[in-house]
């Protein structure tokens, strides 16, 4: 299952890195782990039904974590 998720994310992550929207050390695998991992945990281990707001907050947190560092010169 994780392989399918990673393969689905790969084009978007690759494009985001190429555009400078994500750090160049981000891979589809690492991005999947920081997004899918928390969602699977909440859904299947905690038993919470995932709503759009929850999914968006997890993805937004991952995007912030993997964003390129802003240069302050």
**Residue carrying the six token digits 């993805």:** 59
72 belongs to a structural domain? no
18 belongs to a structural domain? yes
Length of the chain as a residue count: 73
71 belongs to a structural domain? no
The whole domain housing 59 covers 2-65
Helix (H, G, I), strand (E, B) or coil at 71: coil
User: pLDDT tens across 10-52, in order?
Assistant: 999 999 999 999 999 999 999 999 999 999 999 999 999 999 9
70 belongs to a structural domain? no
| pLDDT greater than 80 at residue 62 | yes
In angstroms, the CA 42 to CA 12 distance is 24
| Angle at alpha carbon of residue 70, lines to 69 and 73, rounded to 5° | 130
Q: Specify the pLDDT at position 1.
A: 79
- Considering only CA atoms, which of 6, 68, 56, 58 is closest in space to residue 32? 6
26 belongs to a structural domain? yes
């Amino acid at each position: 299952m994780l392989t399918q998720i990673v393969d689905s994310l790969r084009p978007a992550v690759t494009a985001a890195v190429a555009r400078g929207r994500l750090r160049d050390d981000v891979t589809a695998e690492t991005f999947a782990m920081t997004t899918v991992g928390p969602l699977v945990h909440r859904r299947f281990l905690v038993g919470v039904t995932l709503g759009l707001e929850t999914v968006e907050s997890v993805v937004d947190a991952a995007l912030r974590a993997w964003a390129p560092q802003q240069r302050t010169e």
